[in-house]
Structure 1
Amino acid sequence: MPNNPPPESRLSLLGRYEPPSPTLARRFLGRCLEELRLQRGLRRAAAARTVNWSGKWLGSHEAGVARITPETIAALCRRYRADEAQTTELRELAKRAANVQDWWNEYPSSVLTREYCTYLGLEDAALQQRRYAPNLIPEPLRTRDYHRATLSGIATQPHIQLGLQQAQQRHTQILVRNNPPSLNLVIGERALYRQVGTPDAMARQLRHLLSIAALPHVQLQILPEDVNDGEAPPYALLELPEPEPPALHWQRREGRWFLSSKPAHIDQFTKTFERIQHVALTTQESLDAISCAARKWHPVATSHTPKAQFPPNISRMVDLASDRRSARRTSRRGSDPLW
């Protein structure tokens, strides 16, 4: 990840920096307002009372998660004693951001939450993505059938399921658009053998994964099941255009996803990703692993090929466990957990 300017430099960029997307504009705007508040030594709760908000609500605006109106900006700037030029620039920035609608804003909050929409905006603007997915194929790489199966039991209302399916199909376009982000992805081996949907759907998903891996901006690796990842959670690290700091989107144990740009979080997850990459299979070994798993889910029908059996719990890929590769993985692995 590149070194980014510290947060206190945001106000100095007013009038010289034009954020390339509405999400980055709100994020930049929020950081400017936070800087003005801190310059006056105001706590968030005290500043929020100026506009009849709670401290938590103001925090969501400073984080760039919620939209903020020019009128509210003017009220906060008066409280912060911002000069006229700063107030004007911040108000105009808010107006420009409000005039552009991204596709995820078309969905109600019952389908895509405000926080997830912010993540989608950051992901859309990212120059590079680093992803770790230990248990499931991550959303931008899912086929329609695979994604539909993941929603079973989560979204019970038909209109929400339909909205999530439609949104996912649009989400997948990020990797095949013009000027896509570079993607470094590590998927846990268990995701290849964890049945989501029908065996045919699993085979199609893994063949789709192979086609994505062939893209020049994608590097895909598989983490063997017998490597101790220390129960590292699923997460995505996003490198954003300067002057924005990197962003982290990760899932906690209770299942909720969180968005953070705290340096401590970025540093921890970056080091974890580097360790996971180091002990994962090489790119070619990973492609072989995915092909092997796809054949297990849907083997080619021939006169001498028996009907496939799908054990409920496949813990490792026997086809890849040659002595040569086992020795190589052992030398890279070590016994310490990665997380």
Structure 2
Amino acid sequence: MPISPSSSAQAARERVAQRLRELRADAGITGTELASRCGWTHPKTSRIENARTPPTPEDIRLWCRACGAADQAPDILAQSRDAESQYVEWRRKVRAGLKRLQGSYVQLYRSTDLFRIYSPTLVPGLLQTEGYARALLSANARLLDLPDDAEEAAAARLERSQIIHEPGRRFVMLIEEGVLRYQLGDGDAMAAQLGYLLTAGALPSVSLGIIPSATPQRVLWPQELFHMYDDTLVSVELLSARVRVTQPSEIALYLKAFEELRGMAVYGAGARALIVKAIDALR
């Protein structure tokens, strides 16, 4: 059963649409009549009710007023804002710069006791060195057509990552072996990053697992990059957006996938051997 990272966001939108549809039905008016009262076309009513078009705040206010339920608008507005926050485009998220983006996660990190991270392509941010992070963030800035503040953003990311040295938290991180081969920055930066993985993987609070490329008969194929914060939130990173998964059933599916991936990984001496092999390949 494939995981759909956008399904949680869509489900939240559908709950808003259902509530608006029920308001209209309770008011005893047709979609055409509601459209006339709101000053738009019937197809717009249909698109909103079927969650094909997210309503704007003004749409919600007009809808509630047309149904004689203006007092319900604030609650539905809050529900709609929550639904839309589950799918956040990177372009919107980084308007204030990549450095500001790093700081936006601090509160979430502080409130989390158990971090589970799976990455098929990149060293997890909490384990990145400055050179590696700078190369990655600079590439992101170019892709998103943003001013390149990668140097400041990398420093902010490293400062944020100091949380792995604080007591009371656990970090379970899984990467595919290919992560060790995808070079970001120059050879020296990549060598420094791989060297740091040898050190970070030995920290008491960190469990670093590496899934070998040669794993026979994988029980689960590589997934998208995702972070689990305790058992309450999954953050999935797509090319264009970040999706926040909050539905318990979906969180349970990600946890199941994480445990299956975890079972294929090697740890300790096995993981160190793969890292050393990757370092040797740089020479």
Query: Is the TM-score greater than 0.5?
Result: yes
TM-score, with normalisation over the residues of structure 1?
0.50
Identity of aligned residues (%): 21
Match runs of 1:84-233 below 5 Å = 108=95, 111=97, 120=105, 123-124=108-109, 125-151=111-137, 154-156=140-142, 160=146, 162-177=148-163, 182-227=170-215, 231-233=221-223
| Greater relative CO, 1 or 2 (CA 8 Å, sep 6+) | 2
What letter matches 1:149 in structure 2?
A
The corresponding residue for 1:302 is none
> Which runs of structure 1 show a deviation greater than 6 angstroms over 4 or more consecutive aligned residues?
29-35, 45-54, 58-62, 71-77, 79-83, 86-93
**Displacement of 1:165:** 4.1
SS class of match (1:219) = strand
Is the contact between residue 132 and residue 235 of structure 1 (CA under 8 Å) also seen in structure 2? Answer: yes
For 1:1-339, list aligned pairs within 5 A: 37=20, 40=23, 108=95, 111=97, 120=105, 123-124=108-109, 125-151=111-137, 154-156=140-142, 160=146, 162-177=148-163, 182-227=170-215, 231-239=221-229, 245-251=232-238, 255-261=239-245, 265-290=250-275, 292-293=276-277, 296=280, 310=283
CA deviations on 1:119-149 (whole Å, 9 max, x unpaired) are 9489545443322222321233222211233
Taking the aligned partners of 1:60 and 1:219, their CA distance within structure 2 comes to 43
How many residues were matched structurally? 243
TM-score (norm 2): 0.58
**Matched position secondary structure for 1:247:** strand
| Superposed displacement of residue 249, structure 1 | 0.4
Contact 1:188 1:222 in 2 (8 A): yes
Q: Contact 1:175 / 1:181 at 8 angstroms: preserved in 2?
A: no
Uncovered stretches (5+) of structure 2, i.e. residues with no partner: 1-11, 26-30, 80-91
Go from structure 1 to structure 2 and tell me whether the alpha carbon gap of 1:187 and 1:33 turns closer, same or farther (over 3 Å shift).
same
Q: Report the structure, 1 or 2, having the larger helix content.
A: 2
Shift in alpha-carbon separation, 1:126–1:197, aligned structure 2, 3 A = same
Specify the alignment match of 1:315 in structure 2: none
Kept in 2, the 8 Å contact 1:129–1:238? The answer is: yes
